[in-house]
Structure 1
Amino acid sequence: MSRTPTRWELAGEDNRGYGRHFADLVTQGADVAGEARLADALVPRGARIIDIGSGMGRVAAELAARGHDVVATEPDPALRDQSRATYADLAVLPHDALALDPAELGTFELAVLVGNVMIFLAEGTERSVLQRVRDLLAPSGRALVGFHLQAVKAGSRTYPAEEFVADVEAAGLRVVHRFGSYELHEPVDDYAVWVLGR
């Protein structure tokens, strides 16, 4: 069965600097763990966490270093290569979001979709991806989602807050919190951080 390419794939070389940029920041000792700090605060010690669209691995690696049982997934081969180069101990599955099977992977206390994952999905798959996230969550599990509400990166889409909320609810999830940053600032118009529940 043919698959619709993601917006990230369609952007091609325009997005190639992302992994290298964050790898350089890691090398320089910059703080790239903001998302992971919030994710860590949402779960008990040793939680099962899935990082969907883990990119070059910075969030998943930080969560693993904090003692969590982390499954990282990244379909982009170049980003997986960058992840291996930067975080050699982090195993990364090559699955895209819709290929993640709860029967194979089990359920998780937290699903992480940060770094603009939602605005780079294949056109028209947002609700399906959110339904898959729901299916991957334990009954009391939550999802941490963060993205720019306007298209600011090559190939990304504009995803208004009200449309996202409608998709969340249609997928059998609910908004627990909305913030303007990973430091829990009040909501803003250009970026949203969401905590979702079943």
Structure 2
Amino acid sequence: MTLPPTRWELAGEDNRFYGLHFDALVREGADVAGEARLADALVARHARILDVGSGMGRIAAALTARGHDVVATEPDAALRAQSQAAYADVPVLPHEALAIPALEPFDLIVVVGNVFIYLGEGTERAVLAHLRSLLAPGGRILAGFHLTAVKSGSRTYPADEFVADASAAGLSVDWRFGSYELHAPNDDYAVWVLSAG
């Protein structure tokens, strides 16, 4: 199956800043695990977690360190290499969201770091439906992204459109927050917890 190019792919070298930015933060000792703390709170101990668009590996590594069984997937070769250099004990699959194979079901699927606003044009509902198919009974999806196109090559993805796409994919919105520290919803960034409807 030929998949449409993602917005991330189309942006090309304009997105190299991402890996460099987080590499600098890690070297400075900055806290880069906020998303992982919320993900950890959403599951029982030793949960099976899928990190979609795992980037340079910070969230997958933090969840692995907390004792979870984590599968990371990142289609960008440069980010995979960075992840494996920084967190050698966290294997990373090369699949984009629509190409993730049917694996043992997951208790939680993490899709943070603006993955949704870099998907291929018109694939959002298909991605949500595919991720739903990978959930274990009672499993949930943790998603987070900027609602407006503030990053190079990304799209604006209004909250009401995302909710409609999630519903069409058979998912319900359990919660919406404005940050990974559970601030009230706002018009800048949205954090979602979804479950199979």
Q: State the AA in 1 paired with 2:175.
A: H
Aligned ranges 1:1-198 → 2 under 5 Å: 1-102=1-102, 105-198=103-196
* Identity within the alignment, %: 72
Q: State the AA in 2 paired with 1:32.
A: V
Contact 1:182 1:193 in 2 (8 A): yes
What is the TM-score when the length of structure 1 is the normalising length?
A: 0.98
Deviation at 1:3, TM superposition (A): 2.2
Q: State the AA in 1 paired with 2:5.
A: P
Q: State the AA in 1 paired with 2:156.
A: T
- How many residue pairs end up in the alignment? 196
Runs of 4+ in 1 over 4 A off after TM superposition: none
Deviation at 1:28, TM superposition (A): 1.2
Counterpart CA distance in 2 for 1:26 and 1:37 is 16
Where 1:89 maps in the other structure, the secondary structure is coil
Deviation at 1:192, TM superposition (A): 0.1
Contact 1:175 1:195 in 2 (8 A): yes
Where 1:71 maps in the other structure, the secondary structure is strand
Query: Which runs of no fewer than 5 residues in structure 1 stay unpaired?
Result: none
Contact 1:49 1:111 in 2 (8 A): yes
Where 1:111 maps in the other structure, the secondary structure is strand
Counterpart CA distance in 1 for 2:20 and 2:89 is 18
Deviation at 1:85, TM superposition (A): 1.5
Counterpart CA distance in 1 for 2:99 and 2:9 is 16
Counterpart CA distance in 2 for 1:143 and 1:2 is 26
Q: State the AA in 2 paired with 1:191.
A: Y
Q: State the AA in 1 paired with 2:190.
A: A
Counterpart CA distance in 2 for 1:64 and 1:112 is 13
Contact 1:20 1:82 in 2 (8 A): no
Q: State the AA in 1 paired with 2:194.
A: L
Counterpart CA distance in 2 for 1:49 and 1:156 is 26
Between 16-25 and 181-190, report the one with greater CA deviation: 16-25
Query: Which runs of no fewer than 5 residues in structure 2 stay unpaired?
Result: none
Where 1:182 maps in the other structure, the secondary structure is coil
Between 84-93 and 46-55, report the one with greater CA deviation: 84-93
